[in-house]
A and B are shown apart, each in its own frame.
Chain A
Amino acid sequence: EADIYQTPRYLVIGTGKKITLECSQTMGHDKMYWYQQDPGMELHLIHYSYGVNSTEKGDLSSESTVSRIRTEHFPLTLESARPSHTSQYLCASSEWKGNAEAFFGQGTRLTVV
């Protein structure tokens, strides 16, 4: 069973609020990822990290930011939420080797009203 956790599972928040989506893994994985998932669309990579103090932007432009101060923790922050940020956000982690599969959290479904 994958040991990667996301909180909260569901979040409804007003426009302009600052939010942080939490993601933690207990597997000691170096690589971590944030994907955005909308119905009928592919998972879009928005951020990834190779390890502590490493963060990179993904293919999909996002107004969110991430940090990686500890190996196990990879939070995503939106400074000012907007309705266009409404989506499902999936966090994942993997070992460093290329053939390693990604382990996913259960996701956070964000609704901005």
Chain B
Amino acid sequence: AQSVTQLGSHVSVSEGALVLLRCNYSSSVPPYLFWYVQYPNQGLQLLLKYTSAATLVKGINGFEAEFKKSETSFHLTKPSAHMSDAAEYLCAVSDSSGGSYIPTFGRGTSLIVHP
């Protein structure tokens, strides 16, 4: 069965600092991996996805993530945080085990950006 672990329910950074949000996955078969962002009282919006092409994936708003199979990780980074990045970030995994690619989500990490 697939699963996702997001370390840290809250991450706090200063504006302009590096953002690092951690995601580890468990999957018995090659997975597809996704990062979504959720603003208050909104649905989820896709930031980026890994689909077995390049291991370094670039997304919207300056975010990127690197797929590391040996570490079963897909951490999200951004070189310089902006106030508008404050939101909830959710990592998801999707693979063919147990059904046809149904996304499983982590608990999410709330990013707090200080002026």
Q: How many residues of B contact A (CB 8 A)?
A: 29
Residues of B with Cβ closer than 8 Å to A?
Answer: 4, 9, 32, 34, 36, 41-46, 49, 51-52, 90, 92, 94-96, 99-108
Q: Is the CB of A40 within 8 A of B107?
A: yes
Main secondary structure of the interface of A (DSSP, over half): loop
Q: Is the CB of B102 within 8 A of A33?
A: yes
Interface size class of A (residues with CB under 8 A): 20 to 34
Question: Quick check: is A90 within 8 A (CB to CB) of the other chain?
Answer: yes
How many Å from the CB of B70 to the closest CB on chain A?
21
> Which of B4, B36, B95, B100 is most buried by chain A, counting CB atoms within 10 A of its CB?
B100
Q: Which 4 A-B pairs have the closest CB atoms?
A: A104-B43, A99-B51, A98-B101, A43-B105
B34 contacts across to A, CB distance below 8 A:
101-102
How many Å from the CB of B3 to the closest CB on chain A?
9
A100 CA to B102 CA in the complex, in Å? Answer: 10
